[in-house]
Amino acid sequence: MKSIEAKVVVLGSQGVGKTSVVIRYVGGMFSKAVSPTIGASFFTYKMTLDGYRVKLQVWDTAGQERFRSMAPMYYRKANAAMLVYDITSLESFYDIKDWVKELKKNVDTPIVMCLLGNKADLDSGRKVPTEEAAEYAASIEALFFETSALKNTGIEDAFLQVSKQLIKLYETYPNSGLGILSPQQESTDIFSPQTTNVKLPSRTEAERPPQSDGCGC
C-alpha cells in the first residue's frame, strides 16, 4: 500500500472556530471553552483511503493579528489549506480573500484549497450567503463546505474530500512535495485508521526518519 503524508494548514480570522473544527475532526469532541491558540498547534491524523495510507499533519494556526506575520512559516510547503470563516461574520469571509491572495503569491507548489463556512448551526445570524461563498470557492477552484463543529456537520466530509484531492494531486504530480513513507517504514507502521491519539503522538511517528522527503515543514 502506498502512503502519503500531507501538510495541511488551517487559516482564518480569530474566533471563527479553527481549533474547534480541528479538534472535532481529530479528537472527535467539542468544547465550548476552547482557548485561543498561541502560535500554532500541531495535530496528526491518519486514515486509509482509496488504497493509500494518508497521514495528515495539521497546523492549526492562531488567528490573532499578532501571529499574522508568522503564517508563512506554517503555510510554506503546505499541500492543503483549510480556509475557515464564520458564516455570521462577513468580515471573516472577506479576510479569506486576503489569505487566498497571500497563498497564491507565496506558495509556488500545487495546493489543495478548501473553504469552510463554520458555525453553520447559527443560521439565524447568517451574514454570508451560501451561494456567494460557493461561487467564490468555485472562482478560486477550492472545495467548499459549510460546517458546524458544535453539531459535527460537514467536517468529516471536508477532510475526506481534501484527502481525496491530495491523492489526486499526488497521482498527477508525484513530485509535488507530498511525502512518501518508505516501504520499510510501512511494515513497522502499525497505525490504525482514525487514530485519535493526538495529545501524545505515537512512537511510530517519532521513528519517522527526519528526511522523509521534502515535507520538512
Partner 1 sequence: MAASGEADQPREVEFEQPNISSDSDQGDFNESEAPGKSENAPLLASDSFDDLSYNDLGVNDHQTVHRGTIHAIVRQTSTSSDSRSNTPNNVDHDSLEVSAGEESLEESAESQMQNVSIADKQEAVELAAPPFSSDDEDVNSPEWKNQKKHVFILSESGKPVYSRHGNEDKLVTIMGVMQALVSFVQDSKDSLRSVVAGEHKFVFLVRDHLLLVGVTRGMDSTQQMLLQLMYVYNQVISVLTHSALGKIFKQRRNYDLRRLLTGAEKFFDNLLNLIDTEPGLLLTAVRCLPLDSQVRDVIAQSIVQNAKVKDLVFALIIAKNQLVTLVRMKKYYLHPMDLHLIINLVNASESFKEAESWTPICLPKFDASGFLQAHVSYLDEDCQVCLLLLSVDRDSFFTLSEAKDRIRARLVRYNALSAINSSLRRTSYSTQQCAISDLRHFLYKARSTAQYTSPELEAPYTKPEEQERLFGLYHYLHHRIHTSGRPLKILFHVGQYETLLGWVTQGFELYAVFGPLITKTGAIHAVNRLLRWIKREEDRLFILNSVTF
What residue has cell string 458544535? 150
For residue 116, the SS3 value is: strand
Nearest-approach distance from CB 60 to partner 1, in angstroms = 7
174 grid coordinates: 508525484
The residue among 91 and 123 lying less far from partner 1, judged by its C-beta, is 91
Q: What is the 3-state secondary structure (H, E, C) of 126-156?
A: CCCCHHHHHHHHHHCCCEEEECECCCCECHH
Q: Which of 13, 47, 22, 17 lies closest to 166 in space, CA to CA?
A: 47
Candidate list 1, 50, 70, 125; residue touching partner 1; CB under 8 A: 70
Nearest-approach distance from CB 188 to partner 1, in angstroms = 15
The contact pattern for partner 1, residues 47-66, with x = CB under 8 A and - = no contact, is: -------------x-x-xxx
217 is a site residue for partner 1 (CB under 8 A): yes
- Percentages helix, strand, coil for the chain, rounded to the nearest 5? 35, 25, 40
The residue among 23 and 137 lying less far from partner 1, judged by its C-beta, is 23
- Find out whether 3 and 55 touch, Cβ atoms under 8 Å: yes
140 is a site residue for partner 1 (CB under 8 A): no
What is the rounded CA–CA span in Å between residue 116 and residue 125? 17
194 grid coordinates: 482514525
Nearest-approach distance from CB 192 to partner 1, in angstroms = 19
Interacting span for partner 1 (CB under 8 A) from 36-44, 106-114, 145-153, 185-193: 36-44
Number of residues that bind partner 1 (CB under 8 A): 35
108 is a site residue for partner 1 (CB under 8 A): no
Nearest-approach distance from CB 144 to partner 1, in angstroms = 26
Residue 73: alpha-carbon gap to chain centroid: 15
41 is a site residue for partner 1 (CB under 8 A): yes
What is the rounded CA–CA span in Å between residue 183 and residue 1? 9
Contact residues for partner 1, defined by CB under 8 A: 14, 19, 23, 33-43, 60, 62, 64-70, 73, 198-201, 203, 205-206, 208, 210, 216-217
